[in-house]
Amino acid sequence: MIDNLIFLAAPITACVLLAGILGYFGNHILSRGIIFIDIALAQIVALGTMIGLLFGFTEGSLAVQLISLIFTLIIVTFFALTKFEKQLIPQEAIIGIIYGLGLGVATLFAEYIPRGSNYITKTITGNILWCTWDEIIYSLLLFAVIGILHIIFGKNFIKITDAKDKFPFSPQKVRIMEIIFYITFGIVVARAVPIAGIFLVFILLIAPTSIATIFTNSWKERFIWSWIIGIFLSVFGVLISYKLDISNGPAIVCLMGISVFILAFAKIVLGKKKTLETVTE
């Protein structure tokens, strides 16, 4: 029992860390309506890694990480600079094109990498059970710096998110704030994907936030509940996958996805029940 707890300590800590940072960003991403930007960036991270492997660097090496980060930062900077009050092409369409392009190029490159198809599968599903304490500590320090930046500029980010396609500040200030927001978001995704995989990072970004949004519109409450829900469901998913000896990424993804629909249905039922009680009174 003690050995199991020691082994699971690292992945559980990783779940707590990722649930917090991705839950925070998820509230912005969901409110902005750019749901698939995370999975598009995650695919770019994977593409950058594959390019590093093609150059002969080993997976997980500093060189590979830097290549992935550079590709990610280029994409998020481009995305931040393409925000206009009157969009000729919706940003969601740009996200879809980026994702499709990243996946297509990665698939072509996989043909030139030994066991390339296996690598694509690994990148998608991830394996958080095998994350190391070194990865967690490095991620914690990195996320702490990003957290400080968002504490400083957080109110500006929220105003821009709430404004939707409008500009609450001057175009120059909005552009600067967007660059800071998306670069920090890109760094988080680039760090999270090697630990958890594309699908798990995506579901941690969207599912807990979706559940929190069903029950509250307050930014503060959504931040807190997204973290709590993300921690509970991801840790529970890790324990289930370990106990049943199944893939942890898909297990957590399925658990969170099902939870969203169950709680949304419960909210609808409770809402109808309250309406009926009001009418009868």
Amino acid making up residue 89: I
Tens digit of pLDDT per residue, the chain (281 long)? 677 778 889 999 999 999 999 999 999 999 988 888 888 888 888 888 888 888 888 877 888 889 988 988 988 888 887 766 566 677 778 888 888 888 888 888 888 887 777 777 778 877 888 889 999 999 999 999 999 999 999 999 999 999 877 888 888 898 899 999 999 999 999 899 889 988 899 999 999 999 999 888 899 999 999 999 999 999 999 989 888 888 888 899 999 999 999 988 888 777 655 544 554 55
Q: Rounded distance, CA 250 to CA 185, Å?
A: 23
pLDDT value for 276: 44
Contact between 230 and 208 (Cβ < 8 Å): yes
CA distance 14 to 91: 31
Residues 120, 118: Cα–Cα separation, whole Å = 5
Q: What is the distance between the alpha carbons of residues 97 and 75, in angstroms, rounded to a whole number? A: 12
Q: Are 129 and 238 in contact (CB under 8 A)?
A: yes
Q: Cα angle at 29 between 23 and 34, to 5 degrees?
A: 145
DSSP tag of 58: P
CATH superfamily, domain 2-280, is: ABC transporter involved in vitamin B12 uptake, BtuC (1.10.3470.10)
Helix, strand counts (H, E) of the chain = 10, 0
Q: How many residues does the chain have?
A: 281
Q: What is the model's pLDDT at position 170?
A: 87
Residue 170 gets the label, from left (phi > 0), alpha (psi -120 to 50) or beta, of: beta
Domains of the chain: which residue ranges? 2-280
265: closest CA among 211, 187, 206?
Answer: 211
Looking at residue 141, its amino acid is: L
Q: Which pLDDT score is estimated for 1?
A: 63
